Amino acid sequence: MRVVLNGLLGYLGLAGTFMPHFGWAQPYPSKPIRLIVPYPPGASTNDILGRELARHMTRALGVQVVVDNRAGAGGHIGSELAAKAPPDGYTLLIGINGPLAIGPSMYAHLGYNPLIDLAPIAMFASVPFVLLVNRAVPAATLKELIAYARAKPGQLNFAASGNGTTTHLCAELFKQSAGIEAAHVPYKGGALAVVDLMGGQVQMYCTGLTSVTSQIKSGKVRAVGLAALNRSPLLPDLPTLSEQGLKDFEVNSWTGLLAPAKTPAPVIERLYGTVAKIVESAEMKNFILNQGAESVLMDPQRFGDYLKVESAKWAKVVKVANVKAD
């Protein structure tokens, strides 16, 4: 009996070396990865950066990373789609601050909670915002602008490229931080807002630096300060609002990579390591800079912490300003 049992065990052991391990997971990744970009193709810097990241990831991971543009509702449709996808590492999201940090405080029934339903992988790019004024406004510094606004309460207005957008909330944050009053004038897009700022129909505008760099350099508008913690290489002589007195005043449009919550930690680590190598390469740094953005690398922990801080900041601004979704 013992001989038969030993022979059987030996056979099973030998057979096990040839039999597939059906319960074992395949090495990740083993099939194409879908990268959801919640904006139309070519319509934003986020789409351009996402496509370039996908190209590099395809080469680094050895599988095709396919960009899937799911536009609509200011980025919320694509973001929700990613948040509800299977957490297996084969659906990823290009996330930005609008639908992930601002949206939850603007919409009572968003359909997803970015802090719960998404797992941060890496932030890799950022565009700082800048506070602009029409050249007829007699203020070249933050101190002068605040003094002018307080001397003319209710007579200033500011443009925004839509209600509840980052341009709108940047101005609201500035009003709350500086203790001034100014009326909100919403526009359907940033281009019209810039035109009216140059024409004097509105006096202030807070927007992404790269979209107005040429107007600043040509003198068509005046930049009062950068809404960032550090100066930008695009305009190194422009001081930040923080160094002019509004401590830690920061508004930007950041771009990051996320996955559905509960995606396995080893998958997140593999993806972060891949993105980190890509972002730290000279080729990607130059590409990001040429798009008018700055390379910023945050690991999953830092990115997650930053998203919490951003969400809390904008929730407070929305509440104090009583901003309502259209």
% of the chain residues with pLDDT over 70: 92
For the stretch 86-121, pLDDT in tens is: 999 999 999 999 999 999 998 888 899 999 999 999
The pLDDT of residue 263:
98
Residue 10, burial from CB neighbour count under 10 angstroms (0-12, 13-18, 19+): exposed
User: In the predicted model, is pLDDT for residue 185 greater than 50?
Assistant: yes
User: In the predicted model, is pLDDT for residue 6 greater than 60?
Assistant: no
Q: How far is residue 130's CA from residue 252's CA, in Å, rounded to a whole number?
A: 9
Is the separation of the CB atoms in 178 and 139 below 8 Å?
A: no
For the whole model, what pTM was predicted?
A: 0.86
Instruction: Please compute the mean of the pLDDT values over residues 72-97 and round it to a whole number.
Output: 95
For the stretch 256-284, pLDDT in tens is: 999 999 999 999 999 999 999 999 999 99
Confidence band for 45, pLDDT divided at 50, 70 and 90: confident
Is the separation of the CB atoms in 62 and 32 below 8 Å?
A: no
What is 82-133 written as a DSSP string? Answer: HHTS-SSSSEEEEEEHIIIIIHHHH-TT-S--HHHHEEEEEEEEEEEEEEEE
Two tokens at 275? 């993105």
Mean pLDDT score across all residues of the chain: 90
All domains of the chain in start order, with CATH: 33-126+253-321 (3.40.190.150), 128-227 (3.40.190.10)
